[in-house]
Amino acid sequence: MFNNLTNRLSTTLKNIRGIGRLTEENIKQTLHDISIALLEADVSLPVVRSFINCVKEKAVGQEVNKRMTPGQEFIKIVRNELIIAMGKENNTLNLAVPPPAVVLLIGLQGTGKTTSTGKLAKFLKEKHKKKVLIVSTDIYRPAAIKQLETLSNQIDVDFYPSSYNEKPICIAKNALKEATIKLYDVLLVDTAGRLHINDSMMEELKQIYNAINPIETLFVIDAMMGQDIVNAAKIFDKILSFTGVILTKADSDARGGAALSIRYTTGKPIKFIGTGEKLEALEQFYPDRIASRILGMGDVISLIEDIENKIDSEQAENLSEKIKKGENFNLIDFLQQLKQIRKIGNISDLVKKIPGLGNISNNIKPAIDDEMLIRMEAIISSMTVKERKNPNIIKGARKLRIANGSGNKVQDVNKLLKQFNDMQNIMKKIKKSKINNITKYIKNIIPYDFYKR
């Protein structure tokens, strides 16, 4: 989402790294370039002006830490102001009420409220061990109720049935009654998308709000909508006073201005960001981590959390034991590792979280992407069990059969076997604990773009 902003700021801030002292004169051009970068990212003008003034005020005459250069100090100031603009700290859901805690999701049409309801239900169930009930009050969009029911089945969360001939306010009241009787911890209420200029729909939303008295009202916004969403947010907030924001489609090529503008404009925090279409692709919003990503500094903490939450620890332990015992690393193991990598998320997004590699993720995308991993899985899936256990038997005729069966070319099968052989060599080196050799082999597998910068 922040690709363009990150690239512009990285280029701009390079120019100031070598200066000996921060003065109004030598940071003038840099501040100008930062303001242009923010405006191009669709950050609203009042936010840009406030941001630049704060950076300027804190930078000029700043007493530089002896362990930092003036350029590093300036970058630190920029990062701190980005954090302040986005909310200073993570704001979690307030569920500290007698159950059920009611969470209402609202927003414009097409922003992803229904999918976000499913994602949030999965998050609360798995991360916070909550007993969750979800309900749809959207009687206007075809298949909206069925969509949420399908999502509930996928994540194994209870769904309160509703129909198109019921009134939304009655659906919400009955769902709350059900959640109270059956001792649910949380009730998530999905609503129909509506334009803020539609008075009757907004009045209906207000009635639902008053009837169920939610502890949290989350305004779901599309990251691709830019500054337009800020005006809508003001009106929704005036009517309902929402408590936080879910920012969807953060994995898109949106310019990111909404994330920097919404808190400044409404005073309400972004609580979650949707980072993909999968139901696990929902992250808590940490302003400090996002600021680091914007400045190309990576986000190791989020990367570690991704790995801890999505990697099968039992599988990883089994593989570790297998290597220790000296057993062969075969294509069955390789396939499991590919699936584990895909669980973590989009490859280019993962790379951005690694310090120093954020700015090169676009360059490695042609070499390492989700499509490539899917092709590799397809190739291995086209092999027999015997071939997976003994890759050395895969020769000409077998390669052709595997290529045809997976919809690939023989060259693709050869590439996969080459990568597998490299991975086998790494496993042998790990067993022998020769770290220098491990690094050499890894360099041969990872594209040259990783190392040439």
Three-state SS for the chain is CCHHHHHHHHHHHHCCCCCCCCCHHHHHHHHHHHHHHHHHCCCCHHHHHHHHHHHHHHHCCCCCCCCCCHHHHHHHHHHHHHHHHHCCCCCCCCCCCCCCEEEEEEECCCCCHHHHHHHHHHHHHHHCCCCEEEEECCCCCCCHHHHHHHHHHHHCCEEECCCCCCCHHHHHHHHHHHHHHCCCCEEEEECCCCCCCCHHHHHHHHHHHHHHCCCEEEEEEEHHHCCHHHHHHHHHHHHHCCCEEEEECCCCCCCCHHHHHHHHHHCCCEEEEECCCCCCCEEECCHHHHHHHHCCCCCHHHHHHHHHHHCCHHHHHHHHHHHHCCCCCCHHHHHHHHHHHHHHCCHHHHHHCCCCCHHHHHHHCCCCCHHHHHHHHHHHHCCCHHHHHCHHHCCHHHHHHHHHHHCCCHHHHHHHHHHHHHHHHHHHHHHHCCHHHHHHHHHHHCCHHHCCC
Query: Is 23 flagged in the annotation as binding?
Result: no
Q: Which residue has 């201005």 as its token pair?
A: 257
112 is in an annotated binding site: yes
Q: Residue 219: phi, psi to the nearest 5? A: -90, 115
114 is an annotated ligand-binding site residue: yes
The whole-angstrom separation of Cα 200 and Cα 204 is 6
User: Residue 33 and residue 121: Cα distance in Å, rounded?
Assistant: 42
The answer to whether 192 is a known ligand-binding residue is yes
37 annotated to a ligand binding site: no
- The answer to whether the annotation marks 248 as part of a ligand binding site is yes
The number of beta carbons lying within 10 Å of the beta carbon of residue 381 is 12
Q: How far apart are CA 74 and CA 427, in angstroms?
A: 44
Q: Answer yes or no: is 108 a known binding residue.
A: yes
Location of structure tokens 């690094």: 439
| Residue 101 among known ligand-binding residues | no
> Is residue 28 classed exposed, middle or buried when 0-12, 13-18 and 19+ CB atoms within 10 A define those classes?
exposed
Asked whether residue 107 is marked as a ligand-binding residue, the answer is yes
Q: Is 109 annotated as a binding residue?
A: yes
Task: Report whether 6 belongs to an annotated binding site.
Answer: no
Is 49 among the annotated ligand-binding positions? no
- Is 407 among the annotated ligand-binding positions? no
Residue 48: closest CA among 237, 201, 253, 264: 264
Q: Output phi, psi for 414, to 5 deg.
A: -60, -40
Q: Is 29 annotated as a binding residue?
A: no
Q: Which amino acid is at 394?
A: I
Residue 110 annotated as binding site? yes
Q: Which residues are annotated as a binding site?
A: 107-114, 190-194, 248-251
Q: Which residues are annotated as a binding site for GTP?
A: 107-114, 190-194, 248-251
